Structure 1
Amino acid sequence: MKKDKSTEKQFLEYLDRLLAGEEISPGDDVSDEVRSALEHARKMLAFRQEPSAEFRAELRKRLLRQIAEKQAPVVRRQGFGERMADIFPPRPVLVAVTSTVLVVLLIFVGTFWYSSRGGAPAPSTERAAAPSAAEYSVRLPANIMPEDVAFAAETSLSAKSGQAAVYRIQSTDITTESVTALGQRLGFSGEAAFIDGGTKIAMYDGAGEDMRQLIVWTASGAVEYGYVEPEKLYPSYPSELPSQPEAENIAYDFLQQADLLPPGYHSLAKIKDETTVIAGGGYSVSQRYAAPAAEAAPSAPSAPAAPGAPLGTTYWLVGFPFFVNGMEATGPGSKIEVSVGDGGEVVRLLWSWRQMSPLGTDNIISEKQAFQDLIQGKGSLEVPLDCRQVVLEQVQLKYWLDPPSEQQAYAVPVYEFTGQCLDKNGKTLEDFTAWTKALATN
């Protein structure tokens, strides 16, 4: 551990000098991992004439993570509060079970979600004058990519510009009374109170491993619920999980009980095609499953049995769709997820919903222009430092939603790009998701 701390301190000292514009000459005591990270930093800083403060911070975080991964430290399981405190936490491996009973490994990126309800009073109906397109603010993540990365598109890109709707996000007044009412619907006793300098309102219930926590962000109304200790989500004993369809029903009923069903979620059947159920656990699992053959009844064949949970699964992650007037939302505040664990108990909730009102339509740039903006570093793309080619496979127009700690005034369209990152040998390193602004500036 001391060696890791010393390495980190050494790297940060050199990186700070690089960021200050100084030339550096690492000594013989500098490890290969630190040398490699510093060289990447030097190249990436040279690519930008005046790196922004946001870029510097993201670069520092990315390179520290690279060094840590190469040193392969042993990480303890985090408690609920620790997991929720990090906007970009480590990604536990998840396993998706498809209707063809093929289990596919997925990576679940822990994120934070938005809301505008959370037991809060009705949104304000006060309406201000519509701003111009130049006044809309889209706070995309910093752009982190090597200077020599190449781009290729394996899908056609339209050269036609167009128009898209813009929405005003209605403000809410989150109070201790509204959070207390939400807590009571979830079985909490007592009263809610402000924490973290007034940025959140929280309630606690139970003790020890059974202690539950409810947090609502005052800026956005985002709701986070779950057990403080990770044992409920990642138990050390085999979990007895419900079937996938049962998990969907449990999750839907939980949202209904808490009065957190968004408008339009009148029944599970109406949104079932857009709902996902993913098997989650604390480590990698990869296995092909065959559905057990159902015994035929004497009079008629029985229905096929539902696939069971993959080995190592500790909870079902039920994800509900987030649409803005029929179009998908994206960004760190764009989903609603319920984790169903041992015995069918809901062990975690990450909930967001933003009530919106239309402002009108504005001009948007073409897909081809947006892709050129991404190539020129005007968007948000984070790829591994050894990525040599970015291969675009799909582009979609979506609505961006900010982190829960920030109050968002407008929901505006962005272009979302997805594809693969390839190394120098043409092998896939990982999938990527990137964004650029869609609104035309003139």
Structure 2
Amino acid sequence: MNYELFTFPKMPAQQSVCLLRPRRIEGAAMDLASKFAERFGVQARPQDMGARMIARDERSSLEYFVATGSVRYSTRPGQKSEAEYQPRLPDEKEAIDLAMKRLRELDLMHSSAAVHSVTDLEYSFRKAGDKEETVFPIARQVNMRFKEAGLPCFGPGAKIQVALGEGGNMDELLRFWREVDVAGEAITLSPDHLTDILMRDESFAQLRAGEASVQFHDCQVGFYALPPREVQGMIVPVFALSGTVSTPALPRYDFMRYVPAVSVETKSRAGMTELRAMAAY
């Protein structure tokens, strides 16, 4: 194994962490999707698309994700092109206040979620003869992230985002989450075990020390939530690592790795659960 290729930060010491099991969703998916469509004011009956129920009318659409009870609402664009229309957007504080108000009105606030950042959705275009692109924001996005059992939640299935457009009107809202219960406890892998997994990652197998390097910058313990349309039987703790690969062809490539953080066997309230550490993904 080529140890000289890798640089690691101080890795988390072994610790006891919870295992989370997604809660069963009560009710028929079509009925739940219909209630969400009514709540958002979408004047259409949802259509069964398999993993999703989708309701669309002339003004907006609502997606209900069957596996998780997650939702995504979006308005349909008007006639005027974005290149001709620069909306009046709320400032950061106003955006947060408006987003919180809309979430409360729609009964979509969650005690485990908090504001993480405020970002802009930008539109860029270049007219004939222009040397540079014109870029301007068309929506302000309030982003929220989840924490459970004191640990941050990573992945595409754990976030709330409210996008505000002209005059602070809501252009889009997504709430991706699985309601969970604590299902047991586990001990995280040792720092030596974690570094061994990372050095054996096949993504780095072709790299050679002296020509390339792999530097890991930071390591956090948290939970990883799969996309909202996918079934997830257990939400297990992970190590979330940011890193950079450098090669002669590509001097800098930033990446993230998520490695299951628990030991091979863990005792849950329902008995023994097999959880095998695997290569980073």
Q: Does the TM-score normalized on the shorter chain lie above 0.5?
A: yes
- Contact 1:388–1:422 (CA<8 Å) still a contact in 2? yes
Q: CA deviation at 1:415?
A: 0.5
> Pairwise mapping of residues 1-40 of structure 1 onto structure 2 (< 5 A)?
none
Q: CA deviation at 1:236?
A: 4.0
TM-score between the two structures when normalised by the length of structure 1: 0.51
Percent identity of paired positions between Structure 1 and Structure 2 = 22
What number of residue pairs does the alignment pair up? 251
The equivalent position to 1:282 in structure 2, one of 89, 112, 123, is 123
Q: CA deviation at 1:169?
A: 1.0
In structure 1, what is the equivalent of residue 5 of structure 2? 150
Aligned residue type for 1:193: Q
In structure 1, what is the equivalent of residue 62 of structure 2? 214
Q: CA deviation at 1:233?
A: 10
Q: Does 1:205 align with 2:57?
A: yes
What is the distance in 2 between the residues matched to 1:233 and 1:260?
31
* Cα shift readout 1:158-215 (whole Å, capped 9, x = no counterpart): 5x433211111102145222222222221222432312xx321111122xxxx31101
In structure 1, what is the equivalent of residue 21 of structure 2? 168
In structure 1, what is the equivalent of residue 221 of structure 2? 397
In structure 2, what is the equivalent of residue 346 of structure 1? 170
Q: Relative to 1, partners in 2 of residues 1:178 and 1:248: Cα closer, same or farther, differing over 3 Å?
A: same
Q: Does 1:407 align with 2:255?
A: no
- Contact 1:233–1:341 (CA<8 Å) still a contact in 2? no
> Pairwise mapping of residues 91-170 of structure 1 onto structure 2 (< 5 A)?
150-153=5-8, 155-158=9-12, 160-170=13-23
Unaligned runs of 5+ in 1: 1-146, 266-270, 285-309
Q: CA deviation at 1:157?
A: 2.4
Secondary structure of the structure 2 residue equivalent to 1:336: strand
What is the distance in 2 between the residues matched to 1:233 and 1:431?
35
In structure 2, what is the equivalent of residue 61 of structure 1? none
Alpha-carbon RMSD across the aligned residues, in angstroms, is 3.2
- Contact 2:112–2:146 (CA<8 Å) still a contact in 1? no
What is the distance in 2 between the residues matched to 1:336 and 1:233?
27
- Contact 2:239–2:260 (CA<8 Å) still a contact in 1? yes
- Contact 1:177–1:192 (CA<8 Å) still a contact in 2? no
Q: CA deviation at 1:398?
A: 0.8
Q: Does 1:437 align with 2:270?
A: no
What is the distance in 2 between the residues matched to 1:169 and 1:218?
13
Bigger strand share: 2
Aligned residue type for 1:340: L
Q: Relative to 1, partners in 2 of residues 1:162 and 1:275: Cα closer, same or farther, differing over 3 Å?
A: closer
Q: CA deviation at 1:152?
A: 1.6
Secondary structure of the structure 2 residue equivalent to 1:392: strand
The equivalent position to 1:263 in structure 2, one of 111, 128, 148, is 111
What is the distance in 1 between the residues matched to 2:246 and 2:6?
10
Aligned residue type for 1:432: F
Unaligned runs of 5+ in 2: 126-133, 266-281
In structure 2, what is the equivalent of residue 193 of structure 1? 47
The equivalent position to 1:333 in structure 2, one of 152, 157, 160, is 157
* Cα shift readout 1:265-323 (whole Å, capped 9, x = no counterpart): 6xxxxx4xx43101221349xxxxxxxxxxxxxxxxxxxxxxxxx96111111101211
- Contact 1:201–1:215 (CA<8 Å) still a contact in 2? yes
Bigger helix share: 1
> Pairwise mapping of residues 68-83 of structure 1 onto structure 2 (< 5 A)?
none
- Contact 2:144–2:161 (CA<8 Å) still a contact in 1? yes
TM-score between the two structures when normalised by the length of structure 2: 0.78
What is the distance in 1 between the residues matched to 2:81 and 2:18?
40
What is the distance in 2 between the residues matched to 1:222 and 1:421?
35
Secondary structure of the structure 1 residue equivalent to 2:137: coil
What is the distance in 2 between the residues matched to 1:413 and 1:316?
32
Q: Relative to 1, partners in 2 of residues 1:188 and 1:412: Cα closer, same or farther, differing over 3 Å?
A: same
What is the distance in 2 between the residues matched to 1:406 and 1:335?
15
The equivalent position to 2:93 in structure 1, one of 237, 245, 263, is 245
What is the distance in 2 between the residues matched to 1:351 and 1:232?
28
What is the distance in 1 between the residues matched to 2:214 and 2:82?
35
Aligned residue type for 1:320: M
What is the distance in 2 between the residues matched to 1:316 and 1:421?
32
> Pairwise mapping of residues 80-91 of structure 1 onto structure 2 (< 5 A)?
none
* Cα shift readout 1:315-349 (whole Å, capped 9, x = no counterpart): 11110121112210112212111111122111112
In structure 2, what is the equivalent of residue 373 of structure 1? 197
Secondary structure of the structure 2 residue equivalent to 1:411: coil
